[in-house]
Amino acid sequence: MFFRRFLLPAATALPLCLASPWACAQVPADAAKAFIAQAGQQLVGVVNSDASAAQKASELTQLVDQDVAVDQVADYVLGRYKNVVTPAQHSQYLALFHQLLAYNITYQIRAFQGVTFVVNGSSVIGNDTVVDTTVARPGQSPAEVGWAVDEVDGAPKIVDVIVAGTSLRITERNDYASVVTSNGGQISALLSAMQGQIDRIAANQ
């Protein structure tokens, strides 16, 4: 998820609001930068703390729920299949998406001890305000990471992460669509694949 590999070119990135039924609006640049600066400081505080792995996982999950429009991103990633998913499948999908996002962040963040987070400029792409940051950790080259921010239901939320010019939500959307189409359009195959990924991550915790 947020710290996985990225595959698609930046030209494929689309504004989240254009395909969304929920209320969202563009966040002014200064407000978006302040939001990402605060979120980054909280993230760094958790990652660099001396807390146990379990405590860090709990705090990171809380940060994700607080700062990321998880349900909205999940529905965007589901794409056209949201029109055919049953209510029960949709509920299961959202639960798995939340858990998988938290697990991936928690699993990957263990390697980020000593991380620093610097907010740079910002730009507008469609309805998104993208805040550019530099994320660095000891022994690694700094990474330029863009955080797409929308106002969702009256509050700023992260709706995408862009690394090396590539959009997370577009990558995930294509990955998920590939699973469904390669299994005869069965949403159940996607749910099984998501649960399998969660099980594999949990086994390595």
What's the pLDDT score for residue 14?
40
**Whole-structure pTM value:** 0.83
Q: What is the average pLDDT score of the chain?
A: 84
What dihedral angle (degrees, nearest 10) is formed by the CA atoms of 86, 92, 97, 103? -170
Write down the residue that tokens 């609006």 correspond to. 25
Which sign, positive or negative, has the C-alpha torsion 162, 198, 46, 76? positive
For the stretch 149-170, pLDDT in tens is 999 988 999 999 998 888 989 9
The answer to whether 156 and 166 have CB atoms below 8 angstroms apart is: no
Domain locations in the chain as residue ranges: 23-181
What's the pLDDT score for residue 204?
75
Question: How high is the mean pLDDT in each 10-residue block of the chain (205 residues)?
Answer: 32 41 72 95 90 83 91 94 94 93 72 85 90 90 93 92 89 94 95 92 75
What's the pLDDT score for residue 4?
40
Question: H or E segment at 129?
Answer: strand 128-136
What's the pLDDT score for residue 101?
84
What's the pLDDT score for residue 12?
33
CA 175 to the chain's CA centroid: 14
- Whether domain 23-181 has CATH 3.10.450.710: the reply is yes
What's the pLDDT score for residue 21?
42
What's the pLDDT score for residue 24?
60
What's the pLDDT score for residue 102?
79
What's the pLDDT score for residue 86?
95
Residue type, 47: V
